[in-house]
Structure formats: structure tokens, C-alpha cells
């Protein structure tokens, strides 16, 4: 009998010790859910007792959204309607009556606060021709914004507001993005309020879309809708990777194809506008063309990738460096170029007056030259 009692006591001791270890390390395994009885109905509901601000569950983007969303703002614009030029003509008023004032045209978009000085980056098409621009922060504060400068070639604009204690976003490295990386799009779609959507990077270096002069878009399937323009595309750490700009859509809503301007381009535009009032871009004075069988035969080109130079401006930067018609530019400043759009974007990013290495294919020979870009001239429309 004594042996049975000893065995029983040892078993109970082991079980109690095991229960204590489990209750300490995995309390959810042994904790019973709290029972809640609603007043008046007597219905018994089971409720999990969990802290309101507990840690994010696995796979959640809560931390990234919280870090970035405070610096994403909503932008509301208004523009006075165009007045009929014949409104003051008495005969026009006789036949058509007095024309009442039309309501102002309203616009909607998003923006990203980049500095405590109040600089905000958004899309040029969001604020273009606007008479008044109102910025609403995520904490409900509002302020009138001033346009510091615009860059229609990349569809970017820099605004500034005067408020204290401004939250700012952390800039990431968009050049490190890879297809398949997870990203979040933050903005104010359709004016419903700040919204966060998630997706992946679908493609990089999208160009030849006819949206901007210089195109190097990040493509994503994160839902981007009207009103998201100018908002933030961030990574899973809440760092800014791009400025949401456009969508491909047949219905006006998201179809899983959105485009964002890389933060590397956005940073260059911001610094140029704040420092010089304009964006200073490189220019080498060449006439580029896509490689085609006819042109390759005409110029005797042996290269299979790159951009063919069909003309070189006399005494221009490229001519002074030794670039000749028939050369194929394959690499600029260490970056491969495969088409005209990539060449334009890469050359434009070069600093005027600072030499950069160019790799050329000249018939059977590979040639490297150093080209010192000049300042890109304004297009005729901008000059006027």
C-alpha cells in the first residue's frame, strides 16, 4: 500500500510541475476564455481576453503602416471655372440670358511629408493650375499649401505648409527593390479617408507608357485608385519607395496594375526644386534610335542590345567626347541601357558638368569614353 501511495504522489508531483511549466511558457494553452453575459438577454458569449495594444500577429503590416501613414496627407484643390468670353456681350446676354457663376472645380489627391520644414511631395497633375490647395494631416490638422515648384517631365510637385510637430517619412532605397517584394500603398482613394492596401512589386523600370517624359516606374498590384495620386508606396519597414502616380484601368477603378515613381527620382526632383527652383538634368546632344534590322544594316551595327546613335550634335557634349553616328551606347555610368527611354532617363539623372563613363559598341570594337553632360535645354513649349 505504501508503494502505491508513493507512486501516486510522484505522478501528481510530475503532473503539477508540467502544468506549471506550460502555464508559465504557454498560458494560452491552459487559460479558459472569459465568459461574458450580456445584460438583458442572458445570452452567454465567449470572449478572448487579449490586450488592446498587443503585439502584431505574424504576417501583419501593422508596424509599417503605423510608421508611414502619419506622414501621408490628403490634398484638396479648387480651381475657378473658366468664364465665357462672351459673358459681357449684351447680345449674348439677350439670346442666352445671364450666365450664373459656375461652381469651382474640385480636385483630390495625396501627398507625403518629407521634412520637418513642411516640404510635401505629390504629383504635378494633382495641383496643376489649382487656385487653392488645402492639406489635411492624418491627425485632422489642416493647412493651406504653397507650390514651391513643379516638374511636369516626371509629374512631380513640391508643396510647403507651415505647421509644427510634423511627422516625416523615412526614405528607402528604391534601387534595392526586387520583383516579388511586398509593398503598401497609402493614400486617400475616392476621398473616403486614408487607406492602406498591400501587394507586391510586379515589375521594375516600366517605361514607354506615354505618361511622362522620363519614365522609370515601379509597377505594383497594390490597389491604387483615383485619389491615391501623390501618396506613398512603402516597403514592409514603412520606408518610402515611390510616389503613386497612375493606374491602368478600363473602368476607373483598380485593376491590379499601378505605377509609382521611384524615390530615387523623387529625391532628385525635390532637391533640385528646393535648391535651384528647377530640376537640372543632364544632356549629351545625340539623336538616339531603337535597334532595328534596317538601321543595323545601314550603319553596319554588330551589337544586339543598346541604343543606336543616328546623329550627334556638332560641338555637343557627346561629339566632344568622341561619340559618332553608328555607335551603340550599351552602358551609362555603370547602368545598362536597352532602349531610348532608358537612355534618356539615365542621361537626365547625370549631373551637368560632371563627367560620366559611357560604354559604346563601334562595329566589332568595344569603346569607353567619358562624356561631360551639359544642362538639358527647356522644350519649346516650356520656354514659351
pLDDT at 209: 82
Residue 209 lies in a domain: yes
Selected catalytic residue, list 155, 221, 235, 327: 155
Helices then strands, each counted (H, E), the chain: 10, 23
78 is catalytic: no
d(CA 361, CA 21): 71
Beta strands in 95-174 (DSSP E): 105-113, 119-123, 132-136, 142-144, 146-151, 156-160
pLDDT at 143: 94
Considering Cα of 120, then 239, then 73, then 224, what sign does the dihedral take?
Answer: positive
Residue 268 lies in a domain: yes
Residue 55 lies in a domain: no
Residue 8 lies in a domain: no
pLDDT at 94: 57
CATH number of the domain that residue 179 is part of: 2.40.10.10
229 is catalytic: yes
Buried b (16+ CB within 10 A) or exposed e, 131-146: eebbbbbbeeeebebe
Selected catalytic residue, list 69, 74, 125, 349: 125
CATH number of the domain that residue 327 is part of: 2.30.42.10
Number of domains, the chain: 3
Residue 234 lies in a domain: yes
Give me the tens of pLDDT residue by residue for the chain, a chain 384 residues long: 677 677 777 787 878 777 777 677 766 665 655 555 555 566 676 666 656 666 777 888 999 999 999 999 999 999 887 666 666 666 656 566 666 566 778 889 999 999 999 999 999 999 998 889 999 999 999 999 999 999 998 999 999 999 999 999 999 999 899 999 999 999 999 888 899 999 999 999 888 788 888 888 999 999 998 899 999 999 999 999 999 998 887 777 778 899 999 999 999 899 999 988 888 889 999 999 988 888 887 888 878 889 999 999 999 999 999 999 999 999 999 889 988 888 988 898 888 999 999 999 888 888 899 999 998 887 654 432
pLDDT at 51: 64
125 is catalytic: yes
Which residue range is the domain that position 306 belongs to? 282-383
Instruction: Judge if 134 and 155 occupy the same domain.
Output: yes
Residue 371 lies in a domain: yes
Q: What are the respective helix, strand and coil percentages of the chain, to the nearest 5?
A: 25, 35, 45
pLDDT at 341: 85
Instruction: Judge if 68 and 152 occupy the same domain.
Output: yes
Per-residue HEC secondary structure of 206-258 comes to ECCCCCCCCCCEEEECCCCCCCCCCCEEEECCCCEEEEEEEECCCCCCCCCCE
Neighbouring C-beta atoms of residue 284, cutoff 10 Å:
27
Indicate the pTM of the whole model: 0.76
pLDDT at 383: 35
Locus of grid cell 539623372: 349
**Residue 134, C-alpha cell as written in the block:** 488645402
Instruction: Judge if 268 and 223 occupy the same domain.
Output: yes
Selected catalytic residue, list 74, 110, 229, 254: 229
pLDDT at 338: 87
Amino acid at each position: 500500500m505504501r508503494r502505491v501511495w508513493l507512486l501516486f504522489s510522484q505522478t501528481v508531483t510530475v503532473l503539477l510541475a508540467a502544468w506549471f511549466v506550460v502555464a508559465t511558457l504557454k498560458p494560452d494553452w491552459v487559460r479558459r476564455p472569459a465568459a461574458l453575459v450580456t445584460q438583458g438577454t442572458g445570452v452567454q458569449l465567449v470572449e478572448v481576453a487579449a490586450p488592446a495594444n498587443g503585439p502584431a500577429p505574424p504576417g501583419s503590416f501593422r508596424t509599417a503602416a503605423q510608421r508611414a501613414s502619419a506622414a501621408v496627407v490628403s490634398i484638396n484643390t479648387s480651381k475657378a471655372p473658366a468664364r465665357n468670353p462672351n459673358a459681357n456681350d449684351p447680345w449674348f446676354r439677350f439670346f442666352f440670358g445671364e450666365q450664373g457663376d459656375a461652381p469651382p472645380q474640385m480636385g483630390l489627391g495625396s501627398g507625403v511629408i518629407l521634412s520637418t520644414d513642411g516640404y510635401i511631395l505629390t504629383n504635378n497633375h494633382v495641383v496643376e493650375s489649382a487656385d487653392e490647395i488645402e492639406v489635411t494631416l492624418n491627425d485632422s490638422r489642416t493647412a493651406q499649401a504653397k507650390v514651391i515648384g513643379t516638374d511636369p517631365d516626371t509629374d512631380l510637385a513640391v508643396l510647403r505648409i507651415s505647421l509644427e510637430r510634423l511627422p516625416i517619412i523615412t526614405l528607402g532605397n528604391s534601387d534595392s527593390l526586387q520583383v516579388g517584394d511586398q509593398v503598401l500603398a497609402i493614400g486617400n482613394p475616392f476621398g473616403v479617408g486614408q487607406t492602406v492596401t498591400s501587394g507586391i512589386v510586379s515589375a521594375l523600370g516600366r517605361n514607354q507608357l506615354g505618361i511622362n517624359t522620363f519614365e522609370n516606374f515601379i509597377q505594383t498590384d497594390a490597389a491604387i485608385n483615383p485619389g491615391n495620386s501623390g501618396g506613398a508606396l512603402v516597403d514592409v519597414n514603412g520606408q518610402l519607395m515611390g510616389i503613386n502616380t497612375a493606374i491602368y484601368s478600363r473602368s476607373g477603378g483598380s485593376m491590379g496594375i499601378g505605377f509609382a515613381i521611384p524615390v530615387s527620382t523623387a529625391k532628385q526632383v525635390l532637391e533640385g526644386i528646393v535648391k535651384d527652383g528647377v530640376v537640372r538634368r543632364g544632356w549629351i546632344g545625340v539623336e538616339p534610335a531603337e535597334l532595328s534590322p534596317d538601321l543595323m544594316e545601314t550603319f553596319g551595327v554588330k551589337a544586339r542590345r543598346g541604343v543606336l546613335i543616328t546623329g550627334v550634335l556638332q560641338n555637343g557634349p557627346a561629339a566632344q567626347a568622341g561619340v559618332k553616328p553608328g555607335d551603340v551606347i550599351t552602358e551609362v555610368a555603370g547602368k545598362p541601357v536597352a532602349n531610348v527611354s532608358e537612355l534618356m532617363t539615365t542621361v537626365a539623372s547625370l549631373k551637368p558638368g560632371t563627367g560620366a563613363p559611357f560604354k559604346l559598341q563601334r562595329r566589332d570594337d568595344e569603346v569607353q569614353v567619358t562624356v561631360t553632360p551639359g544642362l538639358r535645354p527647356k522644350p519649346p513649349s516650356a520656354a514659351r
